[in-house]
Amino acid sequence: MKFFLARTLAPALIATVVAAICCQAQNAPSGTTAPTQNSGSSGKVIFSRSMDANGQVTTQVGPASAQPKIELAAKPSVEDAARRAITYTALDLDVRLYTAAHQIAVRGQVTVRNDGKTPLQRVPLQISSSLNWEQIRTEGKNVDFTVATLNSDADHTGQLHEAAVSLAEPLAPGAETTLDVTYSGTIAPNAQRLLAVGTPQDLAIRSDWDEISVPFTGLRGFGNVVWYPVSSVPAVLGDGARLFDEIGRHKLHLTGARFRLRLTVEFPHGEPPTVALINGHPAALAVKDQGGLDPGVTGTATASLDNSILGFEAPSIFVAVRKEHTTANLTAWTLPEDEVAVQAWTGAATAVTPFLESWLGPHPRSQLTLLDLPDPQDAPYATGALLVASLHESSAEQLQGILVHGMAQAYLQPATQPPPAWLSEGVSTFLESVWVEKSQGRERALGALEADRSALALAEPSSPGESSGQPLAVATSPVYYRAKAAYVLWMLRELAGDQALSAALRGYISSPIAKTNPEPQVASLSLQNLLKKAGVTRDLSWFFSDWVDADKGLPDLSIVSVFPNAAQGGTYLVAVNVANSGYAAAEVPVTVRTAQNEVTEQVLVPARGSVVRRLLVTGSPTQVQVNDGTVPETEASEHITDINAGASSAANSSAPSGP
């Protein structure tokens, strides 16, 4: 069974990356016009919105000593080095949605830090090309900026509007500044980036479903629709993995940022939203609907998320008209046509709950939330403890795998400080594979791991000197923080045992440091200490050094030679020489088989070295196997040599694990 949630990126995006002709991100002149800005009355409030009978938004901004100067640029005035240098340390946003008109208006304060090596005269701020910059202020004063359009598939329109904000004084390396920004526009379904590379229209629109509407608003953030300010390097589909690398870089740079959002939703009379989710977490809705009055009068609903710290995530907003169904550790928000199907989902959750409790404890940090997508063919999306998917009926086997992954996320996801991606995604993917082992057998579970090994082997550097790779603590690619992290946890399971690993994971979930420390590297040391506390006496520092804290690539094992020697009483002492030409040490199972039985021992094979292990077996040995698929390698994760007890053998054959 494939890991469902580990592959929630729309299939259309993956297909287009493989099939599209490679092209480079380009800059194009903006074809938009600057919005009209009006001075407002003096006072604390500097941002308000109203809509006329034609659905046009009027912005009121004040106080202002002078109107900002907005110029449309023929080409950008910011270099990629400046875009990479900017790190957002805080986002404080007031967001207003006009669902009937598909419109959004935002006023926010964004704090950015210069993590580059040189001072910055201009700060780049980017939003979707369907949105327009209106005003940017710093230190209470309007500032001038130019607006250029960048071709970037980080947004579903395929373009971003970049404001190059001129600073009175250059922003020094390590220094921060806070900008007060105002922008607005329309967000409707738009699959231009996918259509441009030849994706069929139906598939494209089912993948890029982000929109603002009365029954459903879904804004998934950077990589789908850029509804909040960002600073990114333009990347397009078809240019290798650049777009996906940029999405990961964006999430990593937001990790640890303070986040606050106040949401106001204007809706037609009688059609109030029933659920709001901010960054994957439910937000209580306060609804005011003028019942009995003119049906043209809109109602309002408000919600907020305060004092939050961002994890490895793209900020998101979901608002919808759905019906609530609550069971233990799970809340589903469904469309009427899926009312019956939700019973299958809650039944699957009940079935997997004892398994999750045995590994992670009785109390998850958050409730898993399921949100029904408008169309059954819409591509699913997951962030933290939220799964947005079509909640139609499916087989119990598939739903159980989905919910093991999703509910494991809920165990690891507090509302204020999410864990690093390699733990949240890694633990979820690991436990999903352990569930497959429990329900379908070990061979199927290892086969599921093997399905991702070849992609991991391609991504890994051939040597640490060639590339620093992606240490798990700061990994930005799913093949690392999902696939490699799941392998790492499987290996820890072999090294420490189920009971000790479970105790360490439980300890991490309840650990104060996991709830308050935003540094991703802290999780590695914390997990090592928790394993010791759980009773693991052996030194595992070599493992965390090679597999978590640094990226030394994958091991490359081989059976150099096998020497069976007859002993007393029909026994044989078999010497197995195992070499590792890779740069990461690995402890692997070495198995000697006879016609009657087999003997297995764990053997630590050093990086760039070899080891000889002697195993005593009863009966004439027939086969030696090194690795069973639990340790990922560059070529294959199983090595089998058939032996003749009457003569030594140096033959070595390798075969991929899995069915």
Report the alpha-carbon distance of residue 400 to residue 438 in Å, rounded. 12
- By mean pLDDT, which of 60-74, 459-473, 521-535, 600-614 is the weakest? 60-74
Task: Encode pLDDT of 400-457 as tens digits.
Answer: 999 999 999 999 876 566 788 898 899 999 999 999 999 999 999 999 999 999 999 9
Answer whether residue 23 shows pLDDT above 60: no
- Residue-level pLDDT at 402: 94
Share of the chain above pLDDT 70, in %: 83
Q: What pLDDT digit, counting tens, does each position of 302-347 carry?
A: 999 998 999 899 999 999 999 999 988 899 999 999 888 999 999 9
State mean pLDDT over 50-60.
Answer: 42
pLDDT at 49 over 60: no
CATH architecture for residues 421-547: Orthogonal Bundle (1.10)
Q: What is the mean pLDDT of residues 463-474?
A: 86
Map residue 413 onto helix, strand or coil. coil
pLDDT exceeds cutoff 90 at 8: no
Which three-class secondary structure state does DSSP give residue 29? coil
> Domain boundaries in the chain?
5-321, 421-547, 557-654
Residue 68 pLDDT? 59
Can you read off the two tokens belonging to residue 144?
């001038």
579 to 520, 576, 582, 613, 650: CA distances (angstroms): 33, 10, 9, 11, 12
* Closest C-alpha among 397, 365, 398 to residue 384: 365
Count Cβ atoms within 10 A of the Cβ of residue 307 and give its class: 0-12 exposed, 13-18 middle, 19 or more buried. exposed
Distance CA 22, CA 42 (A): 53
What tens digit of pLDDT does each residue of 107-148 get?
999 999 999 999 999 999 999 999 999 999 998 899 999 999
CA dihedral sign of residues 203, 205, 210, 215: negative
For residue 647, pLDDT over 50 is answered with no
Look at residue 479 and tell me whether its pLDDT is greater than 70.
Answer: yes
Element (DSSP H or E) covering residue 400: helix 396-412
557-654 CATH: 2.60.40
Q: How many CA atoms within 13 Å lie on the side-chain side of 178?
A: 10
- Give me the phi and psi of 295, to 5 degrees please: -60, -15
Asked if 118 and 132 touch (Cβ cutoff 8 Å), the reply is no
* Helices (runs of H) and strands (runs of E) counted in the chain: 15, 32
Residue range 556-589, pLDDT digits in tens: 999 999 999 998 888 999 999 999 999 999 999 9
- Residue 275 sits at φ, ψ, to 5 deg, of -145, 140
User: 58-90 pLDDT, tens per residue?
Assistant: 444 443 335 556 777 777 888 999 999 999 999
Question: What is the predicted pLDDT for the residue at 482?
Answer: 95
Task: Tell me the torsion sign for CA atoms 536, 542, 545, 546.
Answer: negative
State residue 291's pLDDT score.
60
CATH class of 5-321: mainly beta
Would you place residue 241 in the very low, low, confident or very high pLDDT band (cuts 50, 70, 90)? Answer: confident
Q: Which of 243-247, 265-269, 413-417, 501-505 has the lowest mean pLDDT?
A: 413-417
| Residue 46, token pair as written in the block | 């500097």
What pLDDT score was predicted for residue 512? 59
Which pLDDT band holds residue 240 (cuts at 50, 70, 90)? confident
Strands 638-642 and 621-628: antiparallel
Bridge-based pairing state of the strands 275-278 and 317-320: antiparallel
Query: Which has the closest alpha carbon to 275: 266, 284, 267?
Result: 284
* Length of the chain as a residue count: 659
Mean pLDDT of the chain: 85
Residue 72: per-residue pLDDT? 76
Q: What is the pLDDT of residue 7?
A: 46
Q: Which of 559, 574, 543, 655 is nearest to 611 (CA)?
A: 559
pLDDT surpasses 70 at 476: yes
The pLDDT score that the predictor gives to residue 296 is 66
Contact 325, 273 (CB under 8 A): no
DSSP of 241-274 = THHHHHHHHHHHHHTT-EEEEEEEEEE-TT----
Q: Say if residues 47 and 109 touch (Cβ distance below 8 Å).
A: no
Please give the single-letter amino acid code of residue 482.
R
What pLDDT score was predicted for residue 154? 97
Supply the pLDDT for residue 417: 66
The closest alpha carbon to 391, from 320, 445, 444, belongs to 320
* Intrachain domains 5-321 and 557-654 with the same fold: yes
What contacts 24+ positions apart, CB below 8 Å, involve 281-290? 281/305, 281/308, 281/366, 281/384, 281/385, 281/386, 281/415, 282/331, 282/367, 282/369
pLDDT band at 292 (very low <50, low <70, confident <90, very high): low
Select, from the ranges 227-231, 236-240, 423-427, the one with the highest average predicted confidence (pLDDT). Answer: 227-231
Do the beta carbons of residue 540 and residue 533 sit within 8 Å?
no
Quick check: 114 and 174 in contact, CB under 8 A?
yes
Give the residues across from 621 on adjacent strands.
594
* pLDDT the model gives residue 70: 73
Q: What percent of the chain has pLDDT over 90?
A: 71
